[in-house]
Amino acid sequence: MQKSRVFPTVAILVVAILAVPVYSTAGLQRRADRARAPRLLVVISIDQMRGDTMTRFAGYMRHGLRRMQTEGMTFAEAHHDHGVTVTAAGHATLSTGCTPASTGIIGNDWFDRASGKQEYCTGDDSARIVDPVPGAVGFQSPRNLRRPALGDWLKAKNPASKVFSIAGKDRSAILMGGRKPDGAYWYNDKSGRFVTSSYYATSIPKWLESFNAVSRDNAFRTGWVQSMKPEDYLISSEDAVPTENDCKETTFPHGFTPDAPGALESFRKDILKTPFADEMTLDAAQLLISSEGLGADRNPDILWIGLSAADYVGHAYGPLSQEAQDYYFRIDRRLGEFLRFLDERIGPSGYVVALSSDHGSMPLPEDLARRGYPSSRVLTKDFDAMLRTATDLAGAELGLTKPLYRTSDYAGVYIDLAEATALGIESARVRKRVAAKVRELGFVADAMTWEELSAPEDAGDRQYLDMYRRSFASDRSPDVLVRPKEFVLMAWKKCGTSHGTPYRFDTHVPMLFFGAGIPAGQSNDRVRTIDLAPTLAALLSVTPPSNVDGRILRLAPGGSGRAGRLRPSYAKNPKLVADTYGM
């Protein structure tokens, strides 16, 4: 194992500088910058990790998450500041320091008006999946990302620096890695392997080939069982909640059937709904660091890690489930091992780890309803049907004879303006009429038109309008965006939960900085996830582009809260747990 290098002390640096007076001022500044910057920056996004997770489970966090929280700098009130809180938008926000309106990544997908087809956020017909195993299909690249990411900023300043990303999800790895990383890898559930695309390379690196060849039979045979004592799960909902998962398999243990037809193919998909997938991603990340020599010299490197299984677990069982609790207990332990690996490989003075998330999530609406919240579930098929009816009613009122509705998604409705335009009816008038009809739907809190979202003027008392403006791209977003009422879940199926709204339970995420030069403490000031990338750039002595939306945070205790004091642990006080249900 490579020994960590120790940075020279300030005194030694001064002697070295005085001994070589021919260096220019700019050269001395570059040397000083490299001395201050960590040799390796690791950014971890735990997909769908809510901001209350660290406090709810604090009594059970004894390893990686606890170490980062107690020894690092915590921003307890970090929020996504856009309205459509989904994976692609969140990860592009974290990596670029820009809102979805700037990155163009307004969602996981959107309707392309020109082609009349759905466009996947990282879809690219020119970049095929690279995997020697037959059956791996797809076309992926960051071509839809309109702003450079942190890794791009670093490589523009220092081309010798290395930037990599790895995640369970393709869109997470691709959008965090930016436009020109040295490599981006993600898990392909068809082949059961980590893959890349021809945008990045023509073949899988040898170290990843070796990793892909390792058997996962242990997880296949044993399945997912509880790892704590039964009484430790009292802070979560009961195990048998009827609308968890597929509404059938709702309780531990969650196993696989090794001898059933298609068992291996099923395992490749279902492993993403277990902690094993994220443990596997961290295993691959460690091998990547060693094999690619990250942090081995004075040129700072970046590794983005997307722990995507957390999202699959959250969607299936909800954030208040025993499964979610068990997941975080396991990932806390695995992150502890990962930090020890960094201590040994890079050295404590050589690395920084940042932790955040792409979005939060709403608890199961049925669980909320029984606790007195005005919560309900609206299935996507019903949502689409109601939007179609409302849109076509608006068209009829305007005297249109052809259907005005074109398509819809979780964000809103796209309309066909051809007939209205031919009749001389202004588009703004059509959208305004559609929005008025959509607002009449019982589960809708507001409907915002293309014109309202494009307008530069102050939103006034129009709640959440500015957040939706930060989620709006005129060529990709719906004609009318829809904000559901708080605690109303827009869902594909009758089980599980989701996210995607501007409400606290979806926007509030963790933001932690840990490692070399980072003080221990906590700030309770409200900060935004667009601040993550500029703050990390400052640690790397990199100047962000002038059009970045975020700002550099002060990594020092202070703000509105008292430094170094953690919030009360919910883990041993079930009464306090109830306070988190409406987050």
pLDDT in tens, 533-558: 999 999 999 999 999 999 999 998 76
Write out pLDDT tens, residues 494-504. 999 999 999 99
Number of Cβ atoms within 10 Å of the Cβ of 459: 15
**In 10 A of CB 12, how many CB atoms?**
10
- Does residue 562 surpass a pLDDT of 70? no
Please check whether residue 318 is in contact with residue 244, taking contact to mean a CB–CB distance below 8 angstroms.
Answer: yes
Low-confidence winner among 69-83, 278-292, 563-577 (lowest mean pLDDT): 563-577
Q: Classify the C-alpha dihedral 85-271-305-167 as positive or negative.
A: negative
Backbone angles phi, psi at 482, to 5 degrees: -115, 130
Among the residue ranges 4-13, 184-193, 338-347, 522-531, the one predicted with the least confidence is: 4-13
User: Which of 571, 569, 561 lies closest to 521, judged by CA?
Assistant: 561
Over 90: is that where the pLDDT of 225 sits?
yes
Position 144 scores a pLDDT of: 98
pLDDT, average across residues 463-483: 98
Supply 431's token pair: 């959208």
Q: Where exactly are the structural domains of the chain?
A: 1-34, 37-364+507-580, 376-486
Give the mean model confidence (pLDDT) for residues 163-185.
98
CB atoms within 10 A of CB 146: 17
The pLDDT-based confidence of 7 (bands split at 50, 70, 90) is very low
Instruction: Judge whether residue 311 has pLDDT over 60.
Output: yes
Mean pLDDT across the stretch 483-510?
A: 97
Sign of the alpha-carbon torsion through 558, 562, 566, 567: negative
β-bridge pairing 480-484 and 123-130: unpaired
pLDDT band with cut points at 50, 70 and 90 for residue 215: confident
**pLDDT-based confidence at 574, cuts 50/70/90?**
very low
Based on DSSP, count helices (H) and strands (E) in the chain, helices before strands: 23, 20
In percent, how much of the chain has pLDDT > 70?
A: 89
Per-residue pLDDT, 217: 80
pLDDT at 325: 98
Question: pLDDT at position 266, please?
Answer: 84
The whole-number pLDDT of residue 179 equals 98
Tell me the C-alpha distance between 89 and 171, whole Å. 10
Q: What does the pLDDT look like over 240-295, one tens digit per residue?
A: 999 999 999 999 999 987 778 888 888 888 999 999 999 999 999 999 999 999 99
The pLDDT score that the predictor gives to residue 17 is: 30
**Which of 1.10.760.10, 3.40.50.300, 3.40.720.10, 3.90.1300.10 is the CATH number of 37-364+507-580?**
3.40.720.10
pLDDT in tens, 318-342: 999 999 999 999 999 999 999 999 9
Predicted local distance difference test score (pLDDT) of residue 11:
35
The better pLDDT of the pair 561, 131 is held by 131
pTM given for the model:
0.91
**Strand 412-415's sheet: what is its strand order?**
405-408, 412-415, 480-484, 444-449
Percent of the chain predicted with pLDDT > 90: 82
Contact between residue 553 and residue 536 where contact means Cβ atoms under 8 Å apart: no
- Residue for token digits 């002038």? 546
Q: Is the pLDDT of residue 29 over 70?
A: no
pLDDT in tens, 180-204: 999 999 999 988 999 999 999 999 9
Query: What is the rounded distance in angstroms from the CA atom of residue 307 to the CA atom of residue 172?
Result: 9
CATH architecture of 376-486: 2-Layer Sandwich (3.30)
pLDDT at 220 over 90: no
Looking at residue 136, its pLDDT comes to 67
Q: In the predicted model, is pLDDT for residue 232 greater than 60?
A: yes
Contacts of residue 162, defined as CB under 8 A and 6 or more positions apart, other chains included, come to: 182, 292, 293, 294, 299, 301, 302
The average confidence (pLDDT) of the chain is: 90
pLDDT above 80 for 14: no
3-state secondary structure string across 362-425: CCCHHHHHHCCCCCEEEEHHHHHHHHHHHHHHHHHHCCCCCCCEEEECCCEEEECCHHHHHCCC
pLDDT value of residue 135: 64
Span 512-540, average pLDDT: 97
Give the pLDDT score at 493: 95
- The answer on pLDDT for 19 being more than 90 is no
